[in-house]
Amino acid sequence: MSPDNGKGLAAIPDNPSFTNSGAGTPMDVDSEFLHDRPGGRPVSTSINDLPDEIQHITAEIMPLSVVLMRLAQWTHVSLQDQVGHLASKPLPQNMANGNANYSPTSAEDASPESLDKKQTLLTWAMDIHTRWTKLLVITEWSKRSEHVGRLIDMKNHLQMSLERYGFLFWDLVKVKNHLRWATVASPDLKTALEVLSSGEASWMPELSFIAPPPISLEERESWMDNINTLLSVRLSFDEHERLPLQFRDYTVGSGRVTFMVKDEFEVDLTIGDEDFEKQFWFIDFRFGFGPAPVEISERVRQFLEHKVNLVLGNEGLAGCYRYLHEFVLTQKIGEFRRQAVELSMGRWIDAIKVERLNRALAIQYWLNRPHSQGSKSWIIIGVYSGNGFNGLKDLKTASWLQLRWFRDNKEVKDFDIPWDLGAISVEALLTTVIARHVEFLLTAIYKKLAIKPRFARRQASMALQISKDEPLNSSLTLQLFDDENATIRIDPVTGSFTLFPQCYTILDGQHRLNSSPSPADDGPVALEQLRWNYTLKDFNSRAKSLGWTTMRPPIPSDDLKSIVYSGTATPTMREPYIPVWLRKAGWSPQWFLMLSLSLGGDQWWLVELSGQKPGLLTGRLKMFIKMPMSSSQLSLSDTFFQNLAVYATGMISQLTDLRELHSKKMAHTARESTSYNLFSQVKIPTLYVRLSDMLRSRTDSAREPPTPWARDFIPINFKGIQNTSDTQDAAPSMPRQDVRVKIIAEARLAVTNKEKFKFLKGNVDHDVVYNPRIGQFSLRLRADMGTPVVNLLSTRIQALERLVDFVQAISKAGKNAVPESVTLREVVFTYCSSPPQTSPPPPIGGTSAQQQQSLPPRAWRVRLDLAKEKDQLVSVALERGNPHLRVLDFLTVLANSPNFESLPLCLLFTLPLYRGLEKVENAWEPIVSNNEGSCQIFPRSVTSVTIRYTLLGTPGSLRQLNIELQVAKRKGKTMWHVFRSAGGGGIGARDRNDEFDKVLQQRVWSARGIGFKGLVTSAAADPEKGIEALLDLIDESVRSLVGTPMPPAPPIHQQTQVHGGHEAVAATAAASAPIPQANMAGNWLLQQQHQQQQQQHQQQRQSLAQASAQHHQQQQHHQRPGGNGGGGTIPGGNSNAPLILD
């Protein structure tokens, strides 16, 4: 420890013995007086009165107590280490051998081990002693620390003053040396006075110089020509082989040769002797590049003249070129540096950094660019010497300026950057280099994007515009969607990416691109994310306004990847994507439309989930299908979203139909076709089904399959959708809820025979149109979403088939049945027993018999209301006064039976019959009103009728006659068979020889007329010509018995016996005829039957005037008693009761 450490004034206690190792005695270096001297008064000496110039040293002074404490600690620690070190040393040999009673023979242990330990301990003790001794000396000096401190300050002041004196001395020496250049000789006043007074100096010596004679102009031109000739001859012959290649361009004139090196310099040389071995001499020098001074300064000229003449004398013209060439290269480097420094302090401030090297210049550009923070880009302009690998210089090769480009910390080896060394411009050079850097970045991004499927398949456009000189003219334009594009440019000064047009989403993508550590590698991903954000922002807002709902993915990410990557061949081709899930208002909850945006190509997917409930947002993937739509069709126009809804709904409809056809095992196929309702890029296939499959459920296996009336293959074309709402009547300001989507499709049926449908014109129904020119039905089908269209088509085709059957049945009926209106909902036709004659309808009160006989047969109109649904029945409506009203229920049953085609023929066949029955009823009205008898008609079916005549007999009994009318074959011809059935004549079996039999036998069974013929016990009548006349004859015969008394009862053996086959047939017809009770009075029975008949006629008149909704009540009152279904209700209830038209 140095004895000078810790010098200064210390406060020392009065006791001279130092206690506590100096603790508690800090040194007060700032005190000027001694406080602890005996007597307690301050002591002042002359040394304390030092001037202020003497600096008092206080730096690095440590309190003495700290020194004592640290030395004590160090001593204690050192002692512990020394004890441990001695304990680790080896023991003497005897003790090491296990002799515990070892004791040394002499008084002192002189073993080597003991001596080593003693030596070590003694050395340590001496070192400790020395340290504490030094501390003791310091402690003693500290008693006079004030005086010692002052002495130290004075000594330091003297040393610093001595050093300052040495410095001043040498400064004076330097000033003296520098003043030598300013030394001025003493003026010669005597000579000056003589020269000023006399104009000459007598003492100046005479040089005896003879001035040459003046040279004339001709001599000067001759000498110049001589010099020019010598220069030309020397350069052409003597110096030709040694002349440098760069000096081949020269001119000789005015006594000098001017060597011109392009973009470098021009030098003028001449000769001073005719000897060709003598050297050339320097005359003038000019720079051949710009910017540079037009003329060099005189100082530079003298310097160059001296250097160039030396080089010409030693190395000749080759050395002259090399020297001037290197000189010019150095000047160019300087000019580059000057311009670069000006740029760094001007427009390119904080953008470039200039660093001068050994005959080179480094310029770093894009100093603070936001991207690629870990890399730098710079250029180096330097002189390339042209030395070989061995370091030897090739004398034939001159050095040149070389440009090296380091782009992102890597040197670019092969580049072609033109730079004009004749017109030096650092800004133009930097602009060109930056333009190539911008080209590299944009081209790298372009190439990475060009190989992506989205651009390789031309699903989106991308344009790269490159300028080799101006970086602002280089740009990369990407299509975001539809006609929206994004343009990427790079600022040439800062190097930051700039994207247009400016908006929030574009700025976010610009920030992402500028934050990338490697834009050339990460640029495609950043631009794709920009496209995602830009597309989603506008797509979501636009889709919601047009009825589309965007939502979260309802399936897990693994299922989502299986959809998007389903068409990817290898995992390396899988690009990142972002899904957009859409659903149109009114769609079923299990159907979704998904758009996947990626560089692999934007794809549309139609997804169906299973187990999807209206309240849940997730489900299980059931089916997905890729929609043939490209990203070039993505748009935000109303037309696009409308076409998207139509196309997606059409695909859903077709998938639903295909699934239905597959479940029913119905043959089908699909073919591509052009749909003019959709945009041209999207084509929905046309679905073909078979007509035979559509009619399979209607065809009875027991019957022979009908002849096909149309071609077997039916095309189903999707035509669009129709949105309906349950709140159509709501206020316009209220949002519509429960929107339903209806699918519109069109099916076309081409008929095989157009002649059968010539009576159809135009609209068969509001959604069925027939074109008679080409013979084709067009069926417009409207079904709710999720409902198979083929089911509706099947129902429509079956209804059309039924319509065709009805129409064919009408046409088969001949000219007496004429169709008036034929639609899919109803068929209206007229029928008549003879060619129809239109006449006004009868009055409500009816017509008399005479009027009916005078009127010609009229045509009766029948309206068939065809079923709209599959389970509804066809209703038959007859106009008022139609004779067939009494069998309307049976006609309705016939219209809904498998034999419905026979309805027109049946109406024509039975019209004369029921017309004759009407006449019979009308003829009995006076008799019924007089309570003399009654006539009741009971239709058992359309072709089976029972006429019951009731006459008043003896008191308490009635006379009854049952006449049966049935269809029968006679000689291959269909005729009416009329006979008397059992049960006539009152109670018990009828008597064959009663009064009715006698009358019938005499007037009817044995008679013969036009269209009818008696058959002894019955009669046969032609259905068209003879049935009415026969009924009139029978009625007149029975009416002749009205008012006559009842004949006496015949003997028992003369009662009625069975007459062969005829009675057997008649018995079955009359088996169910009701027999009145025998104990009732005859008049009362006749009165009751008359009242009943009047009630029936009154109800019939009311039913003719009432609307179709009250027909059910009329049917209950009009029901006939007894019989096998006669007068009964239609099977299945009265919900579809036929209507009676007015």
Strands 817-822 and 826-831: antiparallel
Peptide bond into 1048 cis (omega under 30): no
**Contacts for 237 with CB less than 8 Å, ≥ 6 apart:** none
Q: Which residues pair with 133 in a beta bridge?
A: none
Place of tokens 């709140």: 727
Query: By three-state DSSP, how is residue 1039 classified?
Result: helix
Query: Which residues of the chain fall below pLDDT 50?
Result: 1-47, 700-702, 727-737, 836-852, 854, 984-990, 1052-1090, 1092-1093, 1096-1142
587: nearest Cα among 464, 465, 711, 741 = 741
Query: By three-state DSSP, how is residue 186 classified?
Result: coil
> What pLDDT does residue 801 have?
82
Helix (H), strand (E), coil (C) string for 128-158: HHHHHHHHHHHHHHHCCHHHHHHHHHHHHHH
Q: What is the pLDDT of residues 303-327, one digit of tens each?
A: 999 999 999 999 999 999 999 999 9
Q: Which amino acid is at 820?
A: E
> What pLDDT does residue 844 have?
40
Peptide bond into 732 cis (omega under 30): no
Instruction: Give φ, ψ of 1140 to 5 degrees.
Output: -105, 115
> What pLDDT does residue 396 have?
62
Instruction: Round to whole Å and give the CA distance between 120 and 82.
Output: 9
Burial class (CB in 10 A: 0-12, 13-18, 19+), 1141: middle
How far apart, in Å, are the Cα atoms of 291 and each of 261, 268, 304, 403? 16, 21, 20, 19
Instruction: Give φ, ψ of 17 to 5 degrees.
Output: -75, 125
Q: Which amino acid is at 1046?
A: M
Q: Which amino acid is at 763?
A: N
Q: Quick one: CA dihedral 988, 991, 996, 997, positive or negative?
A: positive
> What pLDDT does residue 107 have?
62
The C-alpha R_g of the chain, in whole angstroms, comes to 67
> What pLDDT does residue 467 have?
93
Instruction: Round to whole Å and give the CA distance between 1115 and 382.
Output: 120
> What pLDDT does residue 95 have?
59
- Neighbour count for residue 83 (Cβ, 10 Å): 11
Cβ 890 vs Cβ 942: under 8 Å: yes
Query: By three-state DSSP, how is residue 795 classified?
Result: helix
Looking at residue 751, what DSSP letter applies?
A: B
> What pLDDT does residue 963 have?
94
* Secondary element (H or E) of residue 933: strand 933-941
> Between the CA atoms of 923, 929, 931 and 934, what dihedral angle is there, to the nearest 10 degrees?
40
Taking phi over 0 as left and psi of -120 to 50 as alpha, with beta for the rest, 1047 belongs to beta
Instruction: Round to whole Å and give the CA distance between 433 and 69.
Output: 70
Cβ 883 vs Cβ 911: under 8 Å: yes
Instruction: Round to whole Å and give the CA distance between 24 and 27.
Output: 10
862: nearest Cα among 838, 886, 831, 837 = 831
> Between the CA atoms of 142, 144, 145 and 148, what dihedral angle is there, to the nearest 10 degrees?
-120
Q: What is the pLDDT of residues 157-196, one digit of tens each?
A: 999 999 999 999 999 999 998 888 888 878 888 888 888 8
Instruction: Round to whole Å and give the CA distance between 1059 and 361.
Output: 145
